[in-house]
Amino acid sequence: MDQIGSVQNRRSRRSNVFMTATLEFSGASLDVKLRNLSAEGALVESEHLPVDGAAVVFRRQELSVAGRVAWTRGKQAGIAFDSNLAPEAVLRHIPSPKPRVTPEFRRPGLSSRQLTSEERKLGSDWMWRPGFDLPGE
């Protein structure tokens, strides 16, 4: 079953992230990419992953939680934590979303007032090219 495209029956919400983490197992330490995180587990990615059912310790900064490898498929693995994380612990490792910027589509500032003589001179100087007559000449 595709982990990304299908709707999963989850007890807790998973937050998509792209961060580094570490898995410790059998006396070894493995750097992994953390793809999503919830109170119950994590989705990690690496070239070399432990086998299904392997006991691991998941570490991300000061967060450290024991768990096991629930499944592996290619370069991805699901880690099931032995105990649920507190929501605050999960949120501490989820970056806050960047505010969306709404583009403003509006016309340039044209007005119906008459140009001053200085503004007309600037416009005339800007428009004039050598070899062409100035407007009105």
| Token code pair at residue 58 | 């998941």
Whether 50 is in a domain gets the answer yes
CATH code for the domain in which residue 44 is found: 2.40.10.220
125 domain residue, yes or no: no
Domain that holds residue 75: 15-92
**55 lies in some domain:** yes
Please indicate, yes or no, if residue 2 is contained in any of the structural domains: no
- Helix, coil or strand: residue 89: helix
**Cβ contact 38:56 at 8 Å:** no
Rounded Cα–Cα distance for residues 3 and 14 (Å)? 12
What's the residue count for the chain? 137
Q: How many domains does the chain have?
A: 1
Any residues with CB less than 8 A from the CB of 70 and at least 6 apart, and which?
41, 52, 77, 78, 79, 80
Question: Digits of tens for pLDDT over the chain (137 positions)?
Answer: 344 443 344 555 666 778 889 999 988 899 999 988 888 999 999 998 999 999 999 998 888 899 999 999 999 999 999 998 886 777 676 667 777 887 777 766 666 778 788 988 887 777 766 666 656 65
- The answer for residues whose C-beta is within 8 angstroms of residue 115's C-beta and 6 or more apart is 123
Q: What is the pLDDT of residue 124?
A: 77
| pLDDT score at 45 | 95
Q: 107 in a domain, yes or no?
A: no
26 in any annotated domain? yes
Which pLDDT value is given to residue 12?
Answer: 59
Does some domain include residue 121?
no
Tell me which residue of 85, 78, 80, 54 sits closest to 67, measured CA to CA: 80
Question: What is the reported pLDDT for 46?
Answer: 94
Q: 3-class SS at 26?
A: coil
Q: Do residues 24 and 52 lie in contact, with contact meaning Cβ atoms separated by under 8 Å?
A: no
Look at residue 109 and tell me if it is in a domain. Answer: no
